[in-house]
Amino acid sequence: MAHKRRLLTAAVGGVIGAAAWWRTHPSPCPYAQRFWVEAPHPLITRERLLEILAPDPGEQLLEIGPGTGYYSLPVAEKLNGGRLFIADVQQQMLDHTMRRATEAGVANIEPARADAQALPYANGTFDGAFTVTTLGEVPDPDQALRELARVLRPSGRLVVGELFGDPHMVTFGSLRARAERTGFGIDRRLGGPLGYFALLRPVR
């Protein structure tokens, strides 16, 4: 019995230690672990994203960290005559998303291998942007938000999605503070502390 307790204690300690390491060492989800980004998330569903992002036909939107395209395709399908640009530091994630888009007959997605801290787009390019469970993976989230503010049009909007249990989760309180530092104001939120989408708008 004592041996089992020691094993359990060691296992719990390992999980806590790993979570603490991930919190202090931001990094993208490896492609080999993509099943985490493909799993359904009942608190941050695609339907909720579409509700708060409200993509319109003809718009130019940007997604940071598309993973394997879980959110990308339903957003792109709403942009009749518009385009969804996706930026990720991992080429494998971009390739996977584009394969899914081809299989689904979605032809309005433009991929770019890029760092969220130095986006390769001109000022005021996009009507809107979104990023789901990705902001906390960026080494400098404030710089990523500044870059997003830069590439958005004055009337643009940004949606940030976060989920409890993600070792890099950005809490709503942390997001509010970061938004104030980087030129955004929070317009509204869907969800609560276990999972939310927040709508941000540039403050000019």
At 82, which helix (H) or strand (E)? none
Start-to-end CA span in the chain (Å):
63
8 pLDDT above the threshold of 80: no
Task: Look at residue 18 in the predicted model and tell me its pLDDT.
Answer: 34
Q: Residue 77 to residues 13, 74, 124, 174, 194: CA-CA distances in angstroms?
A: 44, 5, 23, 32, 28
What pTM does this model have?
Answer: 0.84
At 166, which helix (H) or strand (E)? none
H runs (alpha helix) in the chain: 2-24, 35-38, 46-53, 72-76, 91-104, 141-151, 172-182
C-alpha to C-alpha distance for 196 and 186, rounded to whole angstroms: 13
- HEC assignment per residue over 24-78: HCCCCCCHHHCHHHHCCCCCCCHHHHHHHHCCCCCCEEEEECCCCCCCHHHHHCC
- pLDDT tens digits, residue range 121-171? 999 999 999 999 999 999 999 999 999 999 999 999 999 999 999 999 999
| Closest listed residue to residue 154, CA positions, set 131, 119, 125 | 125
158, two tokens: 């940004």
Q: Residue 177 to residues 70, 120, 167: CA-CA distances in angstroms?
A: 28, 26, 19
Domains of the chain, CATH where assigned: 28-202 (3.40.50.150)
- pLDDT tens digits, residue range 32-62? 566 566 667 889 999 999 999 999 999 999 9
Place of tokens 């390739």: 95
